């Protein structure tokens, strides 16, 4: 699908398999989500703009590459976005953070906003939306709507698993927002869960079930 990159790196796929297993413990799940977050972040930021700067090594001067432009913004969708965010921050510790609190109404599967806080000058920054599960697509669509309303112009989406239904709905609403995921699974079930999936990412990460 146009604008969708599946990160097929063997380390990502291996870690994802461990996360899918129902007997994987909460602490292992959390650790794996953090590690995959970093690996997916690496792919999402592959074409970040750089500039040439003059530096001195202990031996001589040289022209070297340095990230250019304003700091990145990682926009985590609460609560499961927090797990992936940790690994991304290890890679880009200077990134700014936005938090988007949205929950899915279990009856309608529509999302309801309960929290939003983002850095200033979003228009000049690369914004990477972080949500492990792109299921119905409703949450991701609402989060990107909100970030655009707040001024964001350059937006990418990092997730772990996506459903075909969610992907096409999301791309229909936000064709300018490219997505990176470790897998496009088979389909959604009647409760809006991804199949075969890995269950409820938030519950598995925080041990709340
Ligand atoms: N959210 C989850 O945590 N899992 C799914 O399968 C769908 C949405």
Tokens at 166, concatenated: 């969610």
Q: Does position 23 have pLDDT exceeding 90, yes or no? A: yes
Q: Does position 97 have pLDDT exceeding 90, yes or no? A: yes
CATH of the domain at 56: 3.40.50.2020
- CA 173, 175, 176, 179 dihedral sign is positive
Q: Is the CB of 197 under 6 A from ligand 1?
A: yes
Q: pLDDT tens-digit profile of 154-180?
A: 999 999 999 999 999 999 999 999 999
Structural domain that includes position 193: 4-206
Q: Does position 59 have pLDDT exceeding 90, yes or no? A: yes
Q: Whose CA is nearest to atom 7 of ligand 1?
A: 193
Tokens at 108, concatenated: 């309608």
Q: Does position 109 have pLDDT exceeding 70, yes or no? A: no
d(CA 27, CA 185): 24
For residue 143, the surrounding DSSP H or E stretch is helix 138-149
Q: pLDDT tens-digit profile of 187-197?
A: 999 999 999 99
Predicted pLDDT of residue 107: 82
d(CA 77, CA 37): 14
Q: Does position 22 have pLDDT exceeding 70, yes or no? A: yes
- Total tally of structural domains belonging to the chain: 1
Place of tokens 């700091």: 71
The model's confidence at residue 96, banded by pLDDT at 50, 70 and 90, is: very high
Please state the pTM of the whole predicted model: 0.94
The model's confidence at residue 69, banded by pLDDT at 50, 70 and 90, is: confident
Comparing CA positions, the residue from 183, 180, 142, 177 lying closest to residue 163 is: 183
Q: Whose CA is nearest to atom 3 of ligand 1?
A: 200
Q: Which atom of ligand 1 is found nearest the CA of 197?
A: 6
Predicted pLDDT of residue 117: 97
Q: Is the CB of 111 under 6 A from ligand 1?
A: no
Compute the C-alpha angle 93/97/101, nearest 5°. Answer: 140
Q: Whose CA is nearest to atom 2 of ligand 1?
A: 200
Question: Residue 124 C-alpha to ligand 1 middle, in angstroms?
Answer: 32
Question: Residue 144 C-alpha to ligand 1 middle, in angstroms?
Answer: 18
Mutate which of 164, 198, 205 for ligand 1? The one with the most ligand atoms within 8 Å of its CB, which is 198
Q: How many CB atoms lie within 10 A of CB 89?
A: 18
Q: Does position 108 have pLDDT exceeding 70, yes or no? A: yes
Pairing mode, if any, of strands 133-134 and 126-130?
Answer: unpaired
Q: Is the CB of 201 under 6 A from ligand 1?
A: yes
SS3 content of the chain, % helix, strand, coil (to 5): 35, 30, 35
Per-chain mean pLDDT for the chain: 95
């Amino acid at each position: 699908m146009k604008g969708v990159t599946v990160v097929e790196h063997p380390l990502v796929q291996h870690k994802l398999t461990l996360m899918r297993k129902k007997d994987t413990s909460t602490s292992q799940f959390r650790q794996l989500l953090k590690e995959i977050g970093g690996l997916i972040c690496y792919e999402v930021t592959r074409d970040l703009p750089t500039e040439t700067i003059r530096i001195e090594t202990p031996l001589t001067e040289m022209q070297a590459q340095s990230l250019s432009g304003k700091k990145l913004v990682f926009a985590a969708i609460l609560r499961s976005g927090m797990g992936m965010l940790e690994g991304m921050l290890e890679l880009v510790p200077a990134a700014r953070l936005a938090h988007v609190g949205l929950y899915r109404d279990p009856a309608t599967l529509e999302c309801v906003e309960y929290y939003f806080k983002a850095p200033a000058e979003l228009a000049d920054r690369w914004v990477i939306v972080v949500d492990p599960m792109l299921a119905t697509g409703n949450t991701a669509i609402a989060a990107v709507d909100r970030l655009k309303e707040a001024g964001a112009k350059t937006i990418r989406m990092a997730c772990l698993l996506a459903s075909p239904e969610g992907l096409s709905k999301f791309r229909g609403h936000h064709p300018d927002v490219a997505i990176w995921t470790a897998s496009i699974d088979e389909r959604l079930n009647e409760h809006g869960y991804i199949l075969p999936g890995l269950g409820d990412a938030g519950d598995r990460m925080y041990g709340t079930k």
